[in-house]
Structure formats: structure tokens, C-alpha cells
Amino acid sequence: NLQKRDHHEGHHDHEDKVMLIGDARNLLGKENFEVFALVLFSQNLQKCPFEEHAQRVKHVAEIAEKCSMGLKTAECGKSVTVIIMDEICKTPENAEKYPFHEACCAKHEPDRHKCFVEHKLTAPDAIPPYKKPAAEQSCKDYQENRASFMGHYIYEISRRHPMMYPPAILHMAHSFEHIVMDCCKDTATCGQCFGEKMTALKKEMKTINALQQHNCYILKNFKEETLKAVKLSQTAQKFPKAPYGLIKDLVHDIVHLTATCCSGDMIACMEDRLALTTKTCAKKDELSSKLAACCEKPVVERSACIVKIDNDDRPADLSPQVREYIDDVSVCKRFEDDKNELLSHFLYDYSRRHPEMSTEMLLKIDIGYDGILVKCCHEEDKLACLGKAEGELKKEVQSSVELLKTNCAALEKVGSYHFEVMLLGKYTPKIPQVTTPTLIHLIDDMTHVGEYCCKVPAEKQLPCSEGALGLIIGSMCEKQEGHFVNNQVAHCCSDSYANQRSCFTALGPDPSYVPPAPSADYFTFTDELCAAADSEELQLAKKTFLVNLIKLKPNIEAEQMKEITASFLGMLEKCCKAEHHMECFAVEGPKLITKCEGIIGLHPAV
């Protein structure tokens, strides 16, 4: 149960003491406390106007201010959660907007807060899209009233990202303010400046959100042990000079923090995050030479900085290989005594030596080593067996490196559009039940991964590409939770986290798929095709046609596909030049379908 907060001897004394309102105010400072309160109100009551939340923040800030000075009122003995929830429940809410409000407020903590978490609107379109003001207007508003302008920005982000960690929202707000200050220096270029910098900020927000959701996905579907292994390999890569005991301690805290944040309790999440950051900075000299700059920042800015720092340099005296796990028979005794501890130590030692490997790869190697020990420790000549097995582990690494090289070379040779068409040809037969727009979106995302990761330095390419593909595949699996499109997908999504990406790569066409019979209305040719004059829209029209074609015949050959695409483009050119587009499509469309049937040998529906 993710709501349960585990307690380990000597760990997390802060967990048993909830953070009182005055302590939170002292820790965060006036402005950050108010921002944090605004985030929480906006995430819990997503449909209230900004002005209402501003009043709530004002009221809670007054209580916090008094309590931070050591006042001993009843309110000062309450936690941040209780004070925030009391404020939310103080006045009845509109039953149409919040049908759950009355029932949730009738409960006692922690059930009251849990009830609100369960009713958060998490669908991407639950709140209407944000209409952003013109750049000049933004500059004017910021200069006239900074607090109101920044407050509106935080409110709009929070209500659209109800499960995003508050420290991450605070980080986005800081970054946004830097953009505003920078771009508003020159009114002539502010529009272009906003356009460029906001695109990067939105991308960062999307990535932060995706990573947080992915951690929750691992915890929910593959349990704590897998998340521990993921975080152990990542932390050992980031801090290669840190001793095993310290890495293990941090990983325990990170997993605990993830469970807290995924439960939706954003207040406890913030507290745990700050505690972990404080601990990391206290141990910075043992951990990494790169931490000092982050730890000098204000408390709420540290965690985002720590997450983003590069891996520390490997210690000069670190041997390139982990011979003691292969050349020493005593590993069998250690394996027998405490299998998990040995595998965890091996993962730490292997990861800190290999920053160029992806998390998935390191987990696969750890699983592979487990298999080797199971086999070799029962053999007569254990050493010879262990020696041979090392080659097996290297094969796994090689296949991933080869795949990456092949894909990057193909992308460079043919360009993004043709690379995407190639991927659509590969993936549509694997998951033909997925809707065409979703499939195109999925392959779009995969292509973006290639465009970005093939350009980073060689030693970062594998963590970059496998990490990003892991997020995409994990998100797809999560959306299909409980109703997978086919058995192949169910197997890849559920079987093993470490093998998820390679499982999808290895899939063949879905054997259970029965293609629809081609009918006159299977392909829709409308006026919109002629409006698609610009290359992006035209490419989308071509991709849509291709995917629908592959769904009719998953084993279609490349030459057949080329021939049919050429006919499709010929028809577009002819009909879009004609005076009456639709009349032309009505005549030419059926001809094209008949031609398709002839080329790929399909029989039309009667």
C-alpha cells in the first residue's frame, strides 16, 4: 500500500513527526511557502478561479506567519496538510464543479485528504487549454504586478498538472521568471525570445512529468524491488566514488520518497524531497565533486539542480572490470547466504564503472549474473563455468549497441520522415489494433528520441535512447493497463521491466490479428487532403494512408507500398487541381482502392 509510510530503524526520523505549519514556513521562507500553498490549492480544487485561491493562500499564510514566531495556538499544533484541507473544507463548494467536496470533507484525516487526491482530474484535457497572452502583454503584466503575474502562471500549471511534485512546479516557476526577465529587456524581440525559450521550458516540464509518472508506473507494476534496482544503478552511475553503504541508504530514501509522491500526498512528498536534498548536501563531499554548486542554492531550488547534474568522474583507482565476481568461487557462498545483497552489490559495482550503459542494460546484466550463479554454483568446476559466462553478458550489451548504431545510421541517411515511415512499417503489424492517430503519435515520439539521442556524445547515446524509449513504452503500457490490445503487448508490458524495450523490438506481426475487409469507405478522401498544402500536413495524410494500408495487409511488401503510395499521391495531385475536389475523389477514390486490391491481392467485402 503506497499510502503506508514504512519506518526503518535509524532512518527517516522526520517521517514520524509531521511537519507543522510554522516549521514549514520557517523552512521555506515567506514567498516559497505562499507559492507552495497556491500549488496545493490549485492541484486539489482545479476549477476554482485564481482569485479564490489567492484568498485561501492569504489566510493560510497569516496562520503560518504567526506559528513561525513560536505561537502556541491550536492551529500551530496542526500539520500543513490539516491546515490546507481545513481551508479547502471551510466553505461549501459548488456541487456541479465538485460533486465529491461534501463527502470528502465529512471524512477525517488522512482519509479526507486521500479522498481529494482520488478525485483529482488527471486527464490531459480535463482543464481547457491555456490561452497565453501576447509577449508584450506578459512583459507589461510582469512589470506592473510581479506577484499576481507569477501567481497566475503557477496556478495555471498546477491545476493542469495535479500530480506533479510541488518542488518541480517551483523549479518551473523560477525558470519561467528568468525567461520573462530576459525576454522583456527588448520589446522588439520579446515575441521571438519567448517563442524559443518557452518551447524548451515546456519540453523540460513534459520530461519532468514523464519521469515522475514513470517512477510511479514502475512502483505500481513491477513493485519496490525493481524500483530499488533502477535507482541503485542510476545513483551509482551519478556518484561513482560514493561507498556502497551510502548509495544504499540514499536509494532507500529515494524509493520511499517515490512511494510518498505517487500516493498523491504532495505535502509529505515535498517534506521527503527536502529531507533527501538536505541529506544529500550534508554528504556532498563523500558523494560527488559536482554537488557543491547545487547545495549553495536556496533550499527549494536544490533538488531540481541535483537531479540534473552530470555523473561524477570515475575514481582513478577504480578497476575497469569487476573480476572479484567472476574469478572468485566465494561468490557462490555469498549468493547462498544472501542472494539479494550480493546482486545489489554487483549492480552497484558494475553501474559505477559503466556510465555509458542504460539502466535497462544494467538491470539485464544483473539478471544475467543471477542466472549465471544459479547455473555455475551447482557445477563441479565453478570457476571455468563463471569464466565462460562473462561472454554471455557481453553479447547482451553488444546487441543493444548494434541496434542503436543501425537506427542512428538509418536516420542520418534517410531523414526523419522516411525513418518514421520505416518504423510505421515495423510497428503497425505488431500492434495493428491501436488507432491510426495513436500509432503515428507513438512513432513520432520514437523518431524524436532518435533525432535527439543520436546527436549526443557517444558515451551518452545508450542511456539517452533506451531511457527515453523506456518512458514511451511504459506510458503506452500504462494507458492499456488491464485491456491490452493483444497478447503480445500484454506479455511485453507485464513480463519484465528490464526487458520491456527489447521485447517490443523483437516482436513480429500479431498472429491473432484479422485484417478488416476493404470497403469503399475504409479510406476517407476528403477536401481536407487538399488543404494539406504544407509539408507537415501532407506528410500526416501520407502516414495515415500508409498505416491504414498496412492494417489491411500487415505483410505488405516494400515495393507494393511504394507503388500504392505513388498512386495515392497521383490521385491527390489530380483531384486537388480539379474544380470540384469531392466529385473527383468520388470517382478516383474507388479506382485507387480497386488498384490497391489488385496490387496486394485483397478481396473486397461483398
- What length is written for the chain? 606
* Beta carbons of 359 and 397 less than 8 angstroms apart: no
d(CA 164, CA 158): 8
Each as own residue / partner, the long-range contacts of residues 273-279 (CB below 8 Å, 24 or more positions apart, any chain) are 273/165, 273/167, 273/303, 274/27, 274/167, 274/299, 274/300, 274/303, 275/12, 275/14, 276/250, 276/303, 277/302, 277/303, 277/306, 279/250, 279/253
Query: Tell me, what amino acid is at 145?
Result: N
Q: Is the dihedral of CA 333, 338, 340, 345 positive or negative?
A: negative
- Beta-ladder partners of 79: 20
Q: Cβ distance 360 to 498 under 8 Å?
A: yes
- What SS3 class is residue 433? coil
C-beta of residue 581 within 8 angstroms of C-beta of residue 575: yes
Where is the binding site for Ca(2+), in residues?
265
Instruction: Answer for the pair 247, 232: CB distance below 8 angstroms, yes or no.
Output: yes
Q: What is the DSSP letter of 20?
A: B
Quick one: 46 exposed, middle or buried, by C-beta within 10 A (0-12, 13-18, 19+)? buried
Long-range contacts of 174-177 (CB under 8 A, 24+ apart): 174/301, 175/201, 175/204, 176/150, 176/201, 177/150
Please choose, from the candidates 174, 164, 200, the residue with its C-alpha nearest in 3D space to the C-alpha of residue 297: 174
**Are 297 and 317 contacting, i.e. CB atoms less than 8 angstroms apart?**
no
User: Which of the 8 DSSP states describes residue 431?
Assistant: S
| Amino acid residing at 299 | V
Binding positions: 265
Residue positions forming the annotated binding site for Zn(2+): 265
- What is the rounded CA–CA span in Å between residue 417 and residue 403? 19
| CA dihedral over 327, 329, 332, 337, signed as positive or negative | negative
> Which residue blocks in 119-189 are alpha helix, DSSP H?
135-144, 146-160, 166-183
Q: Give dist(CA 67, CA 23) in Å, integer.
A: 8
